[in-house]
Structure 1
Amino acid sequence: MAIAMKGFHSLRIRVVKMNKPFISLCPEITRAHALTLMEWLEDERVTCFLSDSRDVSRSIEQAIDRTQSPILTHLFNRGGRFFMAYDRHDDPVGFVRLIKTGPDCEIVLAIGNCDKWGRSLGARTIREGMKLAFLEMRAERLIARIHPDNARSLNAFLRSGFVLESETPLLKSFAMTAGRYLQFLREGAFGDATGIYITEIDKVRLECLIVLEQGPAVVELEHELERAIVVKPQQVARNVVTMNSRALLQLDDEEIEVALVYPEDADSSAGKHSVCSDIGAAILGYQEGDAIDWRISDRTRRIEIRKVLYQPEAAGDFHL
């Protein structure tokens, strides 16, 4: 737990996540995705370090031939979970596969769009994979097995905090534990924006809430709770979005007013968004002037906190 220092009210931290590499992992796999994957797997630059690339390509072709369904997610999730990786422009740039065996989970990934190499998308994809492995699949350890000549992958996993466990002339095995991952989140070691603030009361309530709730937004919420700076309600800056706050947002080109509420009070038609919704999980803890990229309703949106119109702590409403 991190407690704010005296004088916190005078601080103003601008967080601009949009300048950092952005990746979102999407579980739905369509026929169009399958064709894109086959195209990537025909590129030797992509496949040269993938040990099972031929088998994967053949399996994809067979899956397409077997069904006329536009959605192939169930076929790709056999033996593990498969995700397409999108950049902030909603273009597919790669894929991730997570295979859980007991407490361990193995991660396999590739940035298939070679035009996007060199932009740190691989490291960002690894971090999104860790988020799912540890916070959704509840793995205790995440393993990556990498060819020694695959310099890009080696560097990306090392930068993401993985530790070398064993090696042979043909394979290096790296691992990340759940405890190490959470420690990195809390210390801001991944280089993500660290300027989000949550009150002690909100944190306790939200930790109880996420035990009962499920869904992608809840995973994002838990991630934000783990990396947030925790402050006393009396110390939180007046321009921070706390629970039960109302804020004016710029959502792409649209200006909207929202209230951040608990699930039982949610009514999106009235602008009351649950903290377990995409928008709710996105804005918690940010300040006026902050801008973030966030995936909402299957597409990436840019959100700016224009103004905090009401904050319970600033109004002295500590009972809310």
Structure 2
Amino acid sequence: MNGPFVSLCSEITRTDALALMDWLEDECVTRYLSDSRHVSRFIEQVLGRVRLPILTPLFNQGGRFFMAYDRHDARVGFVRLVRTGADCEMVLVIGNRNDWGRRLGAAAIREAMKLAFLDMRAERLIARIHPDNVRSLKAFERCGFLPDSHTPALTSYALTSARYRQRLRGSPASHGAGIQITEIDKDRLGRLLAFVQDPAAFELEHEIERAIVVDPGEVPGDVVTMNSRALLQLDDETLEVTLVYPEDADCRAGKLSVCSGIGTAILGYRAGDALDWRMPDRTRHIRIEKVLYQPEATGHFHL
């Protein structure tokens, strides 16, 4: 939980827009951002003519726009994803100079990759970077992007969906703390994803893709598998939950669907693990205190 953490939120408020304006007035921030003047004028026009507190639809015209937050829910930047045919192009800005060097850029790139490939189903993700923007070039290279084309003004980097998934499976720890999932759970959850209509289901797909797959008989007894019961510390609250399939969910009985925010978050983690997970309204801090019951540990492989 001590590594860099960034979450992307699609809801854009007037307060967000004012923060963007401040960032775009900093010459060091906009130096390599080719359309900064256009973006700044757009935001100024929006704030001048629209009095609504929520500006999400306006910011998502022609693409998808996300504010980036750290684990303390402080705004640190923004990401824009624009779909062009089968490809998707990313624009990333870490807006506060005090946040530079915290590896938040790479964390934001990984979150944008998840959205582009698992939610938007892009075949390629492209980033066009000024050749002198060494910090950004290194961040994209660390995330698996490869040089695609080059001009004196811009260097294009690209990552394919196939390479992204290969890297998820080959180096899962680079996309978060390592988690484990049994072969049976992976098969069942894979079939579940084919029918789930929840827009946030791509988060579960990401966790399944990056998990280390183990034999049900060899999974450690303190790992949260499907139908496990665990004691959690959720921010300042202690609660007991059972991780279940959507049809068995019952919040009043503590049965959390694996497709819910907390349900997806705890899948595959072990007792003692701690993680941050963005819910719709804020980031929650979760610790797995104890696994009280695990089907595999008692030979209940049919659950």
TM-score (norm 1): 0.92
Shift of 1:192: 3.5
Identify the match of residue 279 of structure 2 among 296, 301, 314. Answer: 296
Alignment correspondent of 1:264: 247
Q: Which segments of 5 or more consecutive residues in structure 1 lack a partner in the other structure?
A: 1-17
179-188 vs 194-203, greater mean Cα deviation: 194-203
Residues 66-113 of structure 1 show CA distances to partners (whole Å, capped at 9, x for unaligned) of: 211100000000000000000000001000000001110000010001
Asked if the contact 1:184–1:190 (Cα under 8 Å) also holds between the matched residues in 2, the reply is no
After superposition, residues 32-47 of structure 1 pair within 5 angstroms as 32-47=15-30
**2:188 alignment partner, SS class:** helix
- Distance of 2:40 and 2:87 partners within structure 1: 26
Does the alignment pair 1:309 with 2:287? no
Higher RCO, Cα 8 Å, sep 6+: 1
- Distance of 1:130 and 1:216 partners within structure 2: 16
CA RMSD of aligned residues (A): 1.2
Alignment correspondent of 2:259: 276
Q: Which segments of 5 or more consecutive residues in structure 2 lack a partner in the other structure?
A: none
Does the alignment pair 1:177 with 2:160? yes
Alignment correspondent of 2:174: 191
Identify the match of residue 147 of structure 1 among 130, 133, 136. Answer: 130
Shift of 1:193: 3.9
- Distance of 1:244 and 1:63 partners within structure 2: 48
Alignment correspondent of 2:45: 62
- Distance of 1:63 and 1:50 partners within structure 2: 20
Shift of 1:230: 0.7
Asked if the contact 1:41–1:47 (Cα under 8 Å) also holds between the matched residues in 2, the reply is yes
**1:212 alignment partner, SS class:** coil
- Distance of 2:31 and 2:58 partners within structure 1: 24
- Distance of 1:125 and 1:193 partners within structure 2: 13
**1:255 alignment partner, SS class:** strand
After superposition, residues 107-256 of structure 1 pair within 5 angstroms as 107-188=90-171, 191-193=174-176, 195-215=178-198, 217-256=200-239
**2:175 alignment partner, SS class:** coil
- Distance of 2:173 and 2:66 partners within structure 1: 22
Alignment correspondent of 1:89: 72
Alignment correspondent of 1:3: none
Asked if the contact 1:160–1:190 (Cα under 8 Å) also holds between the matched residues in 2, the reply is no
Residues 150-201 of structure 1 show CA distances to partners (whole Å, capped at 9, x for unaligned) of: 1111111111110001101111010000000011111116623453111111
- Distance of 2:252 and 2:22 partners within structure 1: 42
- Distance of 2:105 and 2:199 partners within structure 1: 21
| CA shift in 2, pair 1:263/1:63, >3 Å | same
Identify the match of residue 25 of structure 1 among 4, 8, 19. Answer: 8
Identify the match of residue 31 of structure 2 among 45, 48, 51. Answer: 48
Residue correspondences, number: 303
Asked if the contact 2:81–2:89 (Cα under 8 Å) also holds between the matched residues in 1, the reply is yes
- Distance of 1:165 and 1:149 partners within structure 2: 17
Asked if the contact 1:249–1:304 (Cα under 8 Å) also holds between the matched residues in 2, the reply is yes
TM-score (norm 2): 0.97
| CA shift in 2, pair 1:193/1:50, >3 Å | closer
- Distance of 1:92 and 1:144 partners within structure 2: 22
- Distance of 1:61 and 1:192 partners within structure 2: 36
**2:132 alignment partner, SS class:** coil
The amino acid that maps onto 1:198 is: I
Asked if the contact 2:172–2:211 (Cα under 8 Å) also holds between the matched residues in 1, the reply is no
**1:78 alignment partner, SS class:** coil
Does the alignment pair 1:103 with 2:86? yes
